[in-house]
Structure 1
Amino acid sequence: MGERQPFYRDTWVEVNLDEVEKNIHNFQSWLPDETQMMAVVKANGYGHGAEHVARVALRLGVPYIGVATLDEALALRKTGVTAPVLVLGYIRPQDTKLAAEYSIALTVFQADWLDQASKVIEDDDLINCHLKIDTGMARIGIRTEKEGHAVVKRIRDSKNFQLEGVYTHFATADELDASYADEQKNRFDRMLRWLKKEHPEPIKYIHAGNSATALRHLDKVYNMVRVGISMYGLTPADEIAEHLPFELHEAFSLHSRLVHVKKLSAGEAISYGATYQAQKDEWIGTVPIGYADGWIRENATQGEVLVNGVRCPIVGRICMDQMMVLLPHRVEVGEKVTLIGRQQEDMISVAEVARRLGTITYEIPCMISYRVPRAVWKGGKMVQIDNDVF
């Protein structure tokens, strides 16, 4: 998978590709036979490493990769990934030539964009297009048949654009109440009936579902689903956590080590603002991770880590590069500290951290910054270290 790159700081992420593989297998077994997966690896694979996850998915027979930006698509191409890649977001029309050069499929939804893009591509360029339909997300996409007619006409009249797919996105698929998702599906079906008249030639891919849709609404998946968050073993929302058809396996964990241990007397203060004072004689450990690593200051509010399998509260304000934890007793310098993941019989899950911060599971692995190297595990052993600092 590549040569290991060193890192010189005792803070790191572990990405377990075996867990990603389990999740993909489970989706493949669960989905209808006619429904394929698109592996969504945007945001550097939700913080897990886009190339690694894409290669696992492709090896398991996933036919398509999804990203958010042209930059992400080009990054995959430059690692040698040759499989179909769809940019799910907007790209500038002047960059269409580059997308054609690297055989990158694009989301289209504006007639004017197609007019501008046509001016920069060459006669032998061919762009696979996926028409985005806005059925209630109000983000990007055509909303009316009139808008759609203008877009489809330009694709149909051009030798450089080919309509490979059509899709939408459900805004509430991760909620137990399916009424809005049902309404969106009805709108999408109406637009599909219109599109069949407007574009009689078969369209290869019809996709509407994300992870939550694939897990909870098989009546809305069509012939492809875009699996993102749950490919990494994370539940789209707490609300549906007890209603999943199979177990999800978390692939992401975050660790550090104690770099200093000291005993404070009652009344001594810790960190900026002196907001925490020892209530008695206390053992305090310093951990080399802080908000510049994405471990934001709010984590100190009722935040805990695992040391020797025991939960230890974060005390004082989290600094840019370090934080302090309250230890149950004297612990040796160098002891492993787990901020996300399992130690012995206990586990701090991504969902637990998300609840503590009042956010969603998606945000947690994405917010851990480039300063934290990723140790990639496969087959029970570490196979690569990605260190983007140098």
Structure 2
Amino acid sequence: MNETAPLRARAEIDLAALRANVRVLRARTGGARLMAVVKADAYGHGAVPCARAALEAGATWLGTATPHEALALRAAGLDGPLMCWLWTPGGPWREAIEAGIDVSVSGMWALREASAAAEAAGRPARIHLKADTGLGRNGCQPADWSHLVAEARAAEKAGRVRITGLWSHFACADEPGHPSIAAQLGVFRDMVAYAEKEGVEPEVRHMANSPATLTLPEAHFDLVRTGIAMYGISPGPEVGTPADFGLRPVMTLAASLALVKEVPAGHGISYGHHYTTSAGTTLGLIPLGYADGIPRHASGRGPVLVDGRVRTIAGRVAMDQFVVDLTGDRPEPGADAVLFGPGDRGEPTAEDWAVAAGTIAYEIVTRIGARVPRVYTNEQDEPHEIPTDND
């Protein structure tokens, strides 16, 4: 393969923007430490490079969903506090414990498996007890909390576990003022107070995700978990735009035009002929499709910057390609087609694509497939004073 040849498509990842976002977020934490969440391959941006950049910018924890994601970070040489939280029975508990990974426990089965793996590993498991304060997803219900805390404390006294964290997750933090926010905070405080009364001495208590980090200082506790905001994307329109918080989108998705051609009026475009040319025109072929993560739901609506103008997908998105109507313009094959980026050059943003596809920007960046190479820019950090956790 000729590594100097132009790429069919690429996701450009600006690590300087990511570092700047981490610093902006750290400045909002009021002294709480920051966990850089790099689950799902860092929301499609590349877990290892993004984790390293986040740590360079002052993040002190890393977070993943699955244990295999966490183990891959350890294999890449990333040391320091690392937590993973989405476990199923029979998971690699021993491997995680031996790698010094903090694990989440939401129920008795998980505590039993963590304890057994710790005995086999010959070292205690570092566990975070998760409280279901109202999200209704993972986590221990308040009615079962006393039993879980009692059993975890017994395991701690026996040397099988160390309860290093107490945590929960918001349901509606991206909707400022939603009544569930205050209700969940109250439940979390009560559940933390109970655990501490029973002798739990956690290193960290944490509840704030990206929207709570940006808008709810009372939820910061000892640690905040920033995911989507770290990548320069707003958690939701009600929270505000990235620019409102001084954040910059990290990913730019672009492709090289594969073909430019003239077609007559009345020409059907792509499968099903859901688009027909109204007059003689030029078409541009973009070599990206739903196999690359381009939402098929954005057919006929997805925006693309080509030759200085924003065009709209003409017809259906296919597996490997889609078409834009260039309305007579004739850029050369190989010219850039920018699907989304920070918006500096007039290109669409991931949020624009989310609107076009009827989804959220999280999904737009996370779904970009593995056959789209990630190209990293600004890999070396410039000298920068990193604030301490007490700044």
How far apart, CA to CA, are the structure 2 residues paired with 1:338 and 1:112? 48
Partner Cα distance (1:88, 1:59) in 2: 24
- Counterpart CA distance in 2 for 1:243 and 1:377 is 20
Q: Would the aligned equivalents of 2:304 and 2:347 in 1 still touch at CA under 8 Å?
A: no
Residue in 2 aligned with 1:319? Answer: 318
Structure 2 distance, partners of 1:243, 1:271, is 35
The question of whether the paired residues in 1 share the 8 Å contact of 2:233 and 2:242 is answered with no
CA RMSD of the aligned region, Å? Answer: 2.2
2:153 counterpart of 1:137:
no
Instruction: Return 169-178 or 142-151, whichever deviates more.
Output: 142-151
Question: Given the alignment of the two structures, is residue 259 of structure 1 paired with residue 251 of structure 2, yes or no?
Answer: no
CA shift for structure 1 position 152: 2.4
Q: Tell me if the contact between 1:308 and 1:343 (Cα under 8 Å) persists in the aligned partners.
A: no
Deviation at residue 318 of structure 1 after TM alignment: 1.4
Segments of structure 2 that go 5 or more residues without pairing to the other structure are 382-391
CA contact (8 A) 1:111 1:154 kept: no
Query: Do structure 1's residue 61 and structure 2's residue 35 form an aligned pair?
Result: no
1:165, 1:206 within 8 Å by CA — same for their partners in 2? yes
Structure 1 residues 336 and 243 mapped into 2: Cα distance closer, same or farther (>3 Å)? closer
Q: Which residue of 1 aligns with 2:388?
A: none
The aligned counterpart of 1:192 is 192
Higher mean alpha-carbon deviation, 5-14 vs 79-88, is at: 5-14
> For 1:299-326, what per-residue CA distance to the aligned partner results, in whole angstroms no more than 9, with x for missing partners?
2232221012201121121111111111
Tell me what 1:388 maps to. Answer: none
Q: 1:77 corresponds to which residue?
A: 74
Q: 1:344, CA displacement in angstroms?
A: 6.6
Count of aligned positions: 376
Equivalent-residue separation in structure 1 for 2:191 and 2:135 (angstroms):
15
The whole-number CA distance in structure 2 between the counterparts of 1:103 and 1:243 is 34
Percent of pairs identical after alignment?
Answer: 32
Using the alignment, how far apart are the partners of 1:331 and 1:243 within structure 2? Answer: 32
**Residues 116, 257 of structure 1: CA spacing in aligned structure 2 closer, same or farther, 3 A cutoff?**
closer
- TM-superposed deviation, 1:342: 5.5
- Check 1:93–1:345 CA distance in 2 against 1; reply closer, same or farther (3 A cut): closer
Shift of 1:178: 3.6
Distance in 2 separating the partners of 1:318 and 1:296: 8
**Structure 1: gaps spanning 5 or more residues:** 382-390
Calculate the TM-score normalised by the size of structure 1. Answer: 0.91
Aligned partners of 1:350 and 1:361 also within 8 Å: yes
CA contact (8 A) 1:39 1:226 kept: yes
- Check whether the contact 2:94–2:121 (CA below 8 A) recurs between aligned residues: no
**Matched AA of 1:65:** L
The residue type paired with residue 216 of structure 2 is H
Distance 2:343 2:135 in 1: 40
TM-score (norm 2): 0.91
Does structure 1 retain, via aligned residues, the 8 Å contact 2:259–2:285? Answer: yes
2:354 aligned residue: 354
Correspondence for 2:330: 330
1:280-291 mapped onto 2 (5 Å cutoff)? 280-291=279-290
Measure how far apart 1:72 and its partner are. Answer: 0.2
1:157 counterpart residue number: 157
